[in-house]
Structure 1
Amino acid sequence: MNLYSIGKRLVNVYYHLNFKIQVIGLENVPEHGGVLICSNHLSNFDPPFIGTQIARPLSFIAKSELFKVPVLGQLLPHLNAFPIRRGEGDRGAIRLALKLIRAGHALLLFPEGHRNLEHTPMKRGLSGAGFFAMKTDAVVVPCAIIGHYKFRSKMKIVFGKPIDTTVMKNQKLKSADASSAIMQHIQALLDAYTGPTA
Structure 2
Amino acid sequence: MLRTAVWFVYFASYLVAVLPKLWKAKRLKQKDINDYHDYIHITAKNWSSRLIKLAGGTVHVNGAANIPKDEPVLFVANHQGNFDIPVLLAHTGRKIGFISKMEVKKIPLIRAWMEHLDCVFIDRKNRRQAIGALLEGAEKLEGGRSLIIFPEGTRSKGGPVNTFKKGSFKMAEKSKATIVPVAIDGTYTMMEANENHIITPGEVQVTFLEPIRIHQYDANVKSEELASASEAAIAGKLAGLHPDAESAE
* TM interval, short-chain normalised: 0.7 to 0.9
- Residues 1:112 and 2:152 aligned together: yes
Q: Which residue of 2 aligns with 1:158?
A: 207
Q: TM-score scaled to structure 1, two decimals?
A: 0.86
Report the identity percentage: 27
Q: How does 1:80-99 map to 2 (within 5 A)?
A: 80-89=118-127, 90-99=130-139
The answer for the alignment partner of 1:2 in structure 2 is 39
Offset at residue 195 of structure 1 (A) = 5.9
Structure 1 residue aligned with 2:49: 12
| Superposed counterparts of 1:31-180, under 5 Å | 31-89=69-127, 90-117=130-157, 119-147=158-186, 148-149=189-190, 151-166=200-215, 168-170=217-219, 172-180=220-228
Matching residue's letter, 2:173:
M
What does the per-residue CA deviation read over 1:150-192, in whole Å, with 9 as the maximum and x for residues that have no partner? 533211111011124446434x454234312211111112122
How far the C-alpha of 1:6 sits from its partner, in A, is 1.3
8 A Cα contact 1:102 1:138, kept in partner: yes
Answer with 1 or 2: which has the greater Rg: 2
Kindly indicate whether the alpha-carbon contact (under 8 Å) linking 1:19 and 1:155 is maintained by their aligned counterparts in 2.
yes
Shift of 1:63: 0.9
The one-letter code matched in structure 2 to 1:178 is L
| Count of residue correspondences | 194
Q: Decide whether the 8 Å contact of 1:141 with 1:163 is kept in 2.
A: yes
Superposed displacement of residue 80, structure 1: 3.0
Alpha-carbon spacing, 1:139–1:5, altered in 2? closer, same or farther (3 Å):
same
Deviating above 6 A after TM superposition, structure 1's stretches of 4 or more consecutive aligned residues are: none
Structure 1: tracts of 5 or more residues without a match: none
Amino acid at match of 2:177: A
Structure 2 spans left out of the alignment, 5+ residues: 1-37, 191-198, 245-249
Are residues 195 and 155 of structure 1, via their aligned partners in 2, closer, same or farther at CA, if it must alter by over 3 Å? farther
Q: Is the 8 A contact 1:34 1:137 kept in 2?
A: no
Where is the helix percentage greater, Structure 1 or Structure 2?
2
